[in-house]
Structure 1
Amino acid sequence: MSQTPRVWRKFTVKSKDGELKLRIQDMPSDRLNDFIDICMKYFIPQETCNKTAVVGEIIGASITKVDKKDDPERNLNFTTKTKEVGASFAIISKLISRYNALKDHKLDIFLNDRGVVVNPKYRGLGLAQMFFNVRRQICHDIGIPLTGAWMTAAGSQKAAARDGWETAYEMTYEDFGKETGIVFENVPPICKYMTGKPLQM
């Protein structure tokens, strides 16, 4: 018998179309295609380096991974079908190499980020901040001392700051562009790595 997905948070927001009752929960196994769909439509094309709330449809996702001190080093230098995808992974690899929260904070375990995406129709309702808050709840509930993420967009930086996340590392996109040979356009001046401590419950 399959395990019922855990519901981390239920909440209500007001949108121009009226009140929405939402929840953030572990992804049900039968919703994988919906999850992939929102990532392909909104996360892949809109996340700066690449250029779950469930109610009827998946309108957002918070993608995380538990990293451990003894895990093998991540290597994004692998063969891709197109040079554009290869270049994207090379940029992400350089970004990841800039800051290592496990080492900097001397941690054995860490809740790491793989991305946050919200359907544009539902942006501006505080969902990203709710995702970041739930990550801190996950840390509390399963005993992980810290979570963190590269906040590459202004919206995610503001949402994380509102939830009490702190900037652990930052760099200008101008400097990062010189390193990667990329001219970043329509981005905030600063790219930040931000960390959040477990909720006190």
Structure 2
Amino acid sequence: MSQTPRVWRKFTVKSKDGELKLRIQDMPSDRLDDLNDIFLKYFVTEETSHKAADEDPEVVGEIIGASMTIVVKKDDPEEDMNFTDKKTKTKEVAALFAIIDILFSKYDVMKDLNLDSFLDDRGVVINPKYRGLGIAQMFFNVRRQICHNLGIPLTGAWMTSAGSQKAAARDGWETVFEIPYEEFGKEAGVVFEDVPPSCKFMTAKPLSI
């Protein structure tokens, strides 16, 4: 028998279409296609690094949002984060890999803060129809709840957009490292458009429940 997905948070927001009752829960195994749809349609097309690399996928689908994380431990086999050396089929993907490599080389939270475990980010996306309702902040808050439940001392993420930076700051996240986008763009050989002054790595401690 499959385990019922855990519901982390139920909450209500008010939109122009009226009151919405929402919940944040673990992904049901039968909704993987919906998860892929929202990440490909909105995250890949709008996230700063993907935009700078000129990627333009065409995928249809609609879902409210998703937050992807992974638990990283000090003794885990070291993840191969060198994307530049990987074989690519297009120059856009190669440009994206180069951008990611540069960004990931700038800061290592596990080493800097001497952590044994960490709740790492793999992306947050909200369907544009439902933005401005505080859902991203709720996602970030639930990550802190997950840290509390799993006994993980810290969570964090590269916040590449003004929206994510503001949502995280409202939830009490702190900036531990940042790089000006002008400097980042020169190093990556790309032009970042519609971005905040800097790209920030922000962290937060577990909720005190």
Alignment TM-score > 0.5, same fold: yes
CA distance in 2, matches of 1:108, 1:74: 19
- After superposition, the C-alpha distances for 1:131-151 in whole angstroms (9 at most, x for unaligned) are 000000000001100000000
Alignment of structure 1 residues 1-201 onto 2, 5 Å: 1-51=1-51, 58-70=63-75, 71-75=77-81, 76-77=83-84, 78-201=86-209
**Which segments of structure 1 move beyond 4 Å, counting only runs of 4 or more?**
none
- What amino acid is the match of 2:91? K
CA distance in 1, matches of 2:68, 2:74: 20
SS at match of 1:89: helix
RMSD: 1.0
Unaligned runs of 5+ in 1: 52-56
CA distance in 1, matches of 2:176, 2:80: 21
Partner residue of 2:54?
none
Aligned-residue offset at 1:163 = 0.1
- What amino acid is the match of 2:130? Y
Task: State the aligned residue count.
Answer: 196
State the identity %: 73
TM-score (ref. length: structure 1):
0.95
TM-score (ref. length: structure 2):
0.91
Unaligned runs of 5+ in 2: 52-61
